[in-house]
């Protein structure tokens, strides 16, 4: 019985906290969306008794997702006028709001600021951003984000690399340069990791096995082409030719489409 009472009490406490949080978020969002960002909006926000926390800010950012510039104005306001110091969580949160074509410059400005503060885009945020960029065919931004992540601690998986290459191949006019950038970054990181694991390697210029798997597995995983003659030919090329030649062949095959 005591356990049941304790559970009920905890549930009631959570509901009260949830209601209080919703009221705070709604109050802030109503003010921000009520008019253009100006001194009057700042004054009204200053009168709201907001206990800032990561959760409160993330919910406000989410509620302002349709208005990325206002979300960014608020992001700056809490820092400049309330002394809030943004951390990796709130930086990642605002990036998910700025992932639109009309706010992409501000997106990259915040990315650079985040990096200068010693923070990184986390894996969950990367996955959401990459999917959004691919869905909206913002492929240059998707590739630049991929390159950034591959240079950081939260490297995308082979599957994410394949997904990005597939998105590039589905464009009305596939951009071969973008595909090369993805392959080159993957190869660069794989070679670095291989060198770290095998100091004093033999300098073989063939692509590492993991890259051959990327070329074939990603394509097969999406399209079910494991026995297609062109895919089999790509496998043979990857094993018997130099890395540059096999890479060019495989990317050309990927972009031009299967016969």
**Cβ neighbours of residue 136 under 8 Å, at least 6 residues apart?**
100, 101
Orientation of helix 68-81 relative to helix 39-47, angle to 10° = 60
- Confidence band, pLDDT 50/70/90 cuts, at residue 242: very low
Q: Is 39 exposed, middle or buried (0-12, 13-18, 19+ CB in 10 A)?
A: exposed
- Confidence band, pLDDT 50/70/90 cuts, at residue 88: very high
Whether residue 152 has pLDDT greater than 50: yes
- Confidence band, pLDDT 50/70/90 cuts, at residue 81: very high
Each residue of 178-231: pLDDT tens digit? 888 888 888 777 665 555 555 544 444 344 444 444 454 444 433 333 444 444
Q: What per-residue confidence (pLDDT) applies to 183?
A: 80
**Nearest alpha-carbon partner for 219 in 173, 137, 132, 159:** 159
Averaged pLDDT of the chain:
77
For residues 155 and 36, give the distance between their C-alpha atoms in angstroms, rounded to a whole number: 39
For residues 24 and 49, give the distance between their C-alpha atoms in angstroms, rounded to a whole number: 8
Residue 128's φ and ψ, nearest 5 degrees, are -65, -45
- Confidence band, pLDDT 50/70/90 cuts, at residue 147: very high
> Is 121 strand, coil or helix?
coil
Each residue of 39-48: pLDDT tens digit? 999 999 999 8
- State percent of the chain over pLDDT 70: 65
Q: What per-residue confidence (pLDDT) applies to 58?
A: 96
Q: What per-residue confidence (pLDDT) applies to 193?
A: 55
Report pTM: 0.73
For residues 9 and 11, give the distance between their C-alpha atoms in angstroms, rounded to a whole number: 5
């Amino acid at each position: 019985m005591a356990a049941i009472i304790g559970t009920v009490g905890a549930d009631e406490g959570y509901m009260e906290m949830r209601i209080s949080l919703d009221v705070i978020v709604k109050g802030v969002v109503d003010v921000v969306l009520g008019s253009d960002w100006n001194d009057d909006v700042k004054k009204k926000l200053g009168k709201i008794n907001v206990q800032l926390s990561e959760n409160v800010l993330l919910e406000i950012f989410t509620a302002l997702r349709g208005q990325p510039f206002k979300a960014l104005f608020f992001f700056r306001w809490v820092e400049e006028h309330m002394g809030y110091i943004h951390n990796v969580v709130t930086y990642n949160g605002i990036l998910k709001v700025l992932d639109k074509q009309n706010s992409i410059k501000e997106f990259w400005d915040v990315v650079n600021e985040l990096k200068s503060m010693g923070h990184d885009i986390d894996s969950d945020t990367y996955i959401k951003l990459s999917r959004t960029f691919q869905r909206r065919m913002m492929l240059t931004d998707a590739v630049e984000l991929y390159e950034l992540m591959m240079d950081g601690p939260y490297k995308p998986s082979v599957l994410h690399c394949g997904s990005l290459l597939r998105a590039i191949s589905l464009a009305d006019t596939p951009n071969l340069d973008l595909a090369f950038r993805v392959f080159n970054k993957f190869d660069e990181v794989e070679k670095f990791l291989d060198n770290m694991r095998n100091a004093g390697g033999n300098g073989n210029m063939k692509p590492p096995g993991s890259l051959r798997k990327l070329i074939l597995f990603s394509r097969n995983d999406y399209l079910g082409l494991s026995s297609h003659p062109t895919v089999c030919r790509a496998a043979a090329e990857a094993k018997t030719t130099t890395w540059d030649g096999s890479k060019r062949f495989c990317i050309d095959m990927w972009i031009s489409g299967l016969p």
